[in-house]
Amino acid sequence: MAEKKYCPKCLSTGDPEAEFCTACGEKLVPLMRIVIMPFVVSGPEREIWEEYRELVERDGEIRPDLAVGCQLYMQSGMEKVRLMVSQKEHYLAQAERTLPLLVKSYLDPMLFYDVPDPVEVFRVAEEAVEMPTELFVIIQNQYDPEYLFLPEIDFFFFRYPRLHTSGTDADSGFGYVQLSAFLLDNRENRIVSRGSGAGLEYFEAAGAVLDENFSIPTQDQLEVMYRAASQAVERMLRNMKMIK
Ligand SMILES: [Zn+2]
């Protein structure tokens, strides 16, 4: 594939053969290719729930006894309070599909990265399922990228019981996405940048049709998660720091 070129001055793209920008005369440079690698799932099976404490307390008090069945909830009546997860696979699968697309949609407008469609990258990565150590080789052969972008993710939907928010109808749940990522220079085989970011979006009960268990419809949850993930991606990419 002929390398596309872009103009670092006016950010227009140029013909692969051209040497100079037709708009402003600046010397054109090749697009850098970044492949967004499939996710490494870092949670939520963690012993420590302290870092989520502020997310599940109200008025300075944690009330796990009030948190009834939800996608990620606190269970009481045990020696140690702990986070319980249901539908974890469902949420992580959504995260895998959604977040690389969000990263791509953020990088594409910058014009100087050529990011392959993450859906296509996943298809290629699936070829390596039986031999995970070959994944880098396969990605390298397929895309020949200058950089690999490796995100990690924690991806939760919390719900407060209706009892807890009665009268307010405002925030009976929320989505929380924590991301971190490394940028690997594929030529030098070293990490050149890293960053992290979080997004939190409230679910507004008003307008949603809840069933007798006050379950929040999956589609509504996914929309909340998508907005939280967008925030997290934007913050993370803005906070990426170079590593010497
Ligand atoms: Zn130009």
Residue 129 pLDDT: 67
Residue 237 pLDDT: 92
Residues having C-beta closer than 5 Å to ion ligand 1: 7, 9-10, 21, 23-24, 26
- Count CB neighbours of 42 within 10 A: 15
Residue 213 pLDDT: 54
Residue 168 pLDDT: 52
31-45+86-242 CATH fold? Rossmann fold (3.40.50)
Write 20-24 long-range contacts (CB < 8 A, 24+). Answer: none
Which residue has better confidence, 31 or 72?
A: 31
Residue 204 pLDDT: 73
Which residue has better confidence, 172 or 18?
A: 18
Distance 108 CA to ligand 1 centre (A): 18
Distance 21 CA to ligand 1 centre (A): 5
DSSP summary character for residue 230? H
Residues of the chain with pLDDT > 70: what percent? 64
Give 100-159 pLDDT, tens digit per residue: 899 999 988 887 888 999 888 888 877 766 765 677 788 888 888 999 998 888 777 776
Give 201-231 pLDDT, tens digit per residue: 888 766 666 655 556 677 787 888 889 999 9
* Residue in the block written with tokens 């967008």: 230
- Tokens read off for 82: 């702990």
CA dist 225 and 43 (Å) reads 16
Distance 97 CA to ligand 1 centre (A): 35
Give 62-87 pLDDT, tens digit per residue: 544 433 333 444 444 434 444 444 55
Nearest to 38 by CA among 114, 113, 122: 122
Q: How far is CA 37 from CA 40, 51, 183, 189, in A?
A: 9, 27, 10, 15
- Tokens read off for 44: 């939520």
Distance 20 CA to ligand 1 centre (A): 8
CA dist 59 and 12 (Å) reads 52
Contact predicate 173/157, CB 8 Å: yes
CA dist 228 and 201 (Å) reads 5
Distance 235 CA to ligand 1 centre (A): 29
Residue 84 pLDDT: 46
Distance 129 CA to ligand 1 centre (A): 43
Contact predicate 99/119, CB 8 Å: no
Distance 13 CA to ligand 1 centre (A): 8
Distance 145 CA to ligand 1 centre (A): 24
CA dist 15 and 12 (Å) reads 10
Give ranges for CATH 3.40.50.10610 in the chain.
Answer: 31-45+86-242
